[in-house]
Amino acid sequence: MDTRSGTRTTVEAVLREDPVMARLLDEHGWLPIEPAENEFGRLCRSIINQQLSTASAAAIRERVLPVLEDEVTPVRVLAADEDRLREAGLSATKVRYLRSAATAFSERNLSREGLSGLDDDEVIEELTTITGVGEWTARMYLIFALGREDVLPLGDLAVRRGIEALYGDGEELTRSEMRAIADAWRPYRSYATRYVWADYES
């Protein structure tokens, strides 16, 4: 269920029990988890980001926005000229994925409000019925669109590499080992994930 409970004080109290997280909190300051104002736009961003570097994805997003007249909505995506989207840097596959997401949003209420009665696993099940939305994209949606606080996206390479660097001296860890490490962050694993990303990208 969508139940947000994490004030800064309560989140920091939990994360600081882990000495590594305590250090990252001191180094990076407060990194909040908040619902997006435009859930559909956030899903589109995650689709564009799939299998691209941060810089490449950001450049494509900057070029796509004008094609959508700076408003990322299902109506604009469905109405956009495919050739112009391709010229902006989207592959034909990504265009198809964005349109699939736009159709799903037009037909179902996939907003924070619409999904509030579902737990995280149920949201993932709902979202992965959309062509082009796999588990990684669904977990990004949980964190960055819905503001869910206890998501651990181990399908993200940067998260895995970050955990290995912070907790395994760079040695490979199994996903079971990573989940065991992350148990200390419950019920605020989304916040901890932001600190792992921040450290990995710094």
Residues 126 and 197 in one domain: no
CATH of the domain at 194: 1.10.1670.40
In a domain, 3, yes or no: no
In a domain, 97, yes or no: yes
Strands (E), 53-151: none
Residues 48 and 134 in one domain: yes
For residue 171, give the 3-state DSSP assignment.
coil
Task: Please name the residues in contact with 76: beta carbons below 8 A apart, sequence gap of 6 or more.
Answer: 68, 69
User: Looking at residue 24, what is its pLDDT?
Assistant: 98
Task: Please name the residues in contact with 43: beta carbons below 8 A apart, sequence gap of 6 or more.
Answer: 101, 105, 110, 127, 133, 137, 141, 145
Q: How many Å separate Cα 64 from the centre of its chain? A: 19
User: Looking at residue 202, what is its pLDDT?
Assistant: 87
Residue 187, preceding peptide bond in cis (omega within 30° of 0): yes
In a domain, 189, yes or no: yes
In tens, the pLDDT along 68-119 reads 999 999 999 999 999 999 999 999 999 999 999 999 999 999 999 999 999 9
In tens, the pLDDT along 9-50 reads 999 999 999 999 999 999 999 999 999 999 999 999 999 998
pTM above 0.85, yes or no: yes
Q: How many Å separate Cα 113 from the centre of its chain? A: 18
Q: Give percent above pLDDT 70 in the chain.
A: 98
Residue span of the structural domain in which 183 resides: 8-33+151-201
Residues 69 and 98 in one domain: yes
